[in-house]
Chain A
Amino acid sequence: MEMVKRPLPAGFQKVSGDDNTEEYFINMGPQHPATHGVLRLVLRLDGETVRECVPHLGYIHRGIEKQAESETYLQYVHLTDRMDYLTSHMNNHSVCMAIEKAVGIGVPDRAEYIRVMVLELNRISSHLMMFGCFGGDLGAQTALLYGFKEREVITDIFDELCGARLTMNYFRPGGVANDIPDTFIARVKKVIVDVERTLEEFDRLITGNVIIQERSRGIGILTREDAIAYGCTGCVLRASGVPYDLRKDDPYSIYDRLDFDVPTKQNGDSFDRYVIHIDEIRQSIRILQQCIEQIPEGPYRSKEKPSYRLPAGSYYAATETAKGIFGTYVVAEKGDKPWRIHSRSPNFANLSPIGKMVKGHMIADVVTVITTLDILIPDIDR
């Protein structure tokens, strides 16, 4: 029987080669539970070995950047919650910093400390989620539950602090929306104790686990050169041996007053990308402890305004989120609305090398690579 010649899916090149085995294409996603959202990966398989992998994006594109053009600056802040919803405070921070830079608003000291505490809590909760998913995707459902359990406590703190669990909208240009409640510090102290205990447990349960180790060691290696070339940031970059962290290298807020390390790994494989999150949480806890000691009294917000008019020009501010560098580029013209806003999202750059990383691995390893890249699709599509 004549073989039907189907056209190649978009993004693939014809390769001439081995005619003995039949290669075939498979769609992983957009409704695959392990792709963390609506990501579609088209895989060219040879048996179970991945020969090529092309990510297809756009399934959750909402046009946030376009919508920003019809919103005032203050109204735009809450839209960034919907990008990377696990690190919403950090996205808000980046927008607020861009506005502060443009208008020249100072941020009171207390507000800076509140911000940093909230950011680090947010980082811990995002990393805990990553642990959970890492375990869950590799078949250890227990880890998923433990990760979520600890994250729930942090979400409860945010709940009391800003009135929402996911779409916080807490940061404002020149400070934060409201002061911390009286119970905040005590609850943060409790979270620190809890998270430290959980980390130990994770070390016992997951890091030392042979099955996890064998499934993640040497899988999806991202070399130092590739990581830089693809513009990867955050844990992905640092696991490949580049000690680059905006909090250290271009300190914003009050990070230059705080004492913490930037954990770095050398191998750039899935296991390193996982372990580096544990070390990052330990550093976040250190930052939190310093903030609790140093937080001063004072106003939590400089004089508030109903709307901001940015002087014409372009402004850029970037923060180091739990995933990488989130930057906001604002082009302002006359009026209280931006002419154009672009967000540099960390997840887009972190996903790009996936084709290179999974080449030659088994199809089950694609899942490992996706979870350890710690990507979130709403942030990629926006």
Chain B
Amino acid sequence: MAKVIQRRSLTLLERSYLWEIIKGMGTTFKHLFRNFKNPEKMQLMSYPEVEVQTPQNYRGSHRLMKRPDGEPRCVACYMCSTACPARCITIEAEPSSDPRIEKKPRKFEIDWLVCVFCGLCEEACPVDAIRMDTRKVAISHYTRKEFIADMPRLLNWDPKDFPANDAQSQKAPGGKQNQQAKQIWGLEVKHS
């Protein structure tokens, strides 16, 4: 059903312009005083001085998750690099020294200049080994080479930056069989 809206014509007062200007200025000044009264509610940020607080699930730069013993949780299954639309993840696998795990990555590189921050790698990983919750979005370096994040850099994160009540975001064996894995390893997840 269509709704037809009729147009009204201008009144004499409106055609005199002056009243309209006063009305417009009134609105502008109302905003000005409202902003003076509570500046926190302004949608403004002094960006380089004040850091932007992005929400926890913001898709920022990646990190690789760790097992409680500090080894990367990644099992080099290549799911993330297959899912990646930008093809910016380079993985080289090697046999793992742990008999319960088949493979581990020898090289794991993400080219942040090519990455489009789509989040598909995070979603594809079967053992929750790659995450994008570092909330670091302003990545800047001097050379192109520095934008290629290698494994030590991806593994270098501070557990204090992540919610302590979410054991999965800390050092923990990952995946759906987390409980089971913990039993096999005989480990309890330590916070921080």
Interface, chain A (partner B; CB < 8 A): 71, 74-76, 78-79, 142, 146, 148-149, 152-153, 159-160, 163-164, 167, 169, 177-178, 181, 201, 204-205, 208-211, 213, 243, 248, 261-267, 271-272, 275, 279, 306
Contacts and interface: CB of A to CB of B under 8 A. Distances in A.
Given A159-B55, A261-B3, A164 B27 contact: no
Contacts of A142: 24, 27-28
Contact of B14 (A160, A201, A208, A261): A208
Query: Would you call the interface of chain A mostly helix, strand, loop, or mixed?
Result: helix
A160 B20 contact: no
Interface in B1-16: 1-5, 7, 10, 14-15
Interface residues of B, number: 34
B117 A205 contact: no
Interface stretch (B93-101, B119-127, B141-149): B119-127
Contacts, number: 96
Among B15, B59, B132, residue most surrounded by chain A Cβ atoms (within 10 Å): B59
Given A167-B117, A204-B23, A78 B85 contact: yes
B27 A205 contact: yes
Contacts of A209: 20, 24
Nearest to A261: B3
Interface in B104-118: 116-118
A75 B120 contact: yes
B33 interface: no
A160 B57 contact: yes
Give 5 nearest A-B pairs by CB, closest first.
Answer: A243-B2, A75-B85, A163-B59, A261-B3, A78-B118
Contacts of A262: 1-3
A265 B6 CA distance: 8
Nearest to B124: A306
Contact of A152 (B28, B43, B117): B43
B17 interface: yes
A264 B120 contact: no
Nearest to B14: A210
Contact of B5 (A164, A178, A279): A279
A336 B124 CA distance: 16
